[in-house]
Structure 1
Amino acid sequence: MSTSQPDSSLPSDDMATPDALLHTGSGGDVTPEDLVLAAGRDITPKNLAWAERKLAVEGPAALDKLLP
């Protein structure tokens, strides 16, 4: 008999970040790495510099603007 839920013992092709690893700035300090990852970018020196500038201007609200 078929079920509507996939077999959890099989490896998943889903590459989404697990909920336990996601957080917003409301629970602590927002880091440039948080902002880069929330934007869906790779952590590179260029992207970290972008995030540092954005945090300097917008503060922790910068992260809230990226997350739904």
Structure 2
Amino acid sequence: MTTSQSDSTVPSDDKATPDALLHTGSGGPVTAEDLVLAAGRDITPKNMAWAERKLREEGPAAMDKLLP
């Protein structure tokens, strides 16, 4: 039994993902929960306090520093 994929499932074009699809934008204000999740952390009281401090100090730019 083989585990390789058939040729029909392999993309025919070797193109890069458009830049606009790689970057995110917020439709509203950045929350502490958003910042914790973007940092790859669990939502805990300690991490929420960290995020709230970062947002107070840096504003929405705190999110920009975490995401491409």
Q: Which runs of 4+ in 1 moved over 2 A?
A: none
Which protein has the larger Cα radius of gyration, Structure 1 or Structure 2? 2
Partner in structure 2 of residue 37 of structure 1: 37
TM-score (norm 2): 0.65
Of the candidates 4, 18, 22, which is equivalent to residue 10 of structure 2?
Answer: 4
Report the Cα distance in structure 1 between the residues aligned to 2:42 and 2:25, rounded to whole angstroms.
18
Partner in structure 2 of residue 24 of structure 1: 25
Report the Cα distance in structure 2 between the residues aligned to 1:4 and 1:28, rounded to whole angstroms.
38
Q: Percent identity?
A: 75
CA RMSD of aligned residues (A): 2.1
What stretches of structure 2 of length at least 5 have no aligned partner? 12-20
TM-score (norm 1): 0.65
Report the Cα distance in structure 2 between the residues aligned to 1:24 and 1:51, rounded to whole angstroms.
18
What stretches of structure 1 of length at least 5 have no aligned partner? 6-18
> What amino acid sits opposite 1:4 in the alignment?
V
Aligned residues: 51
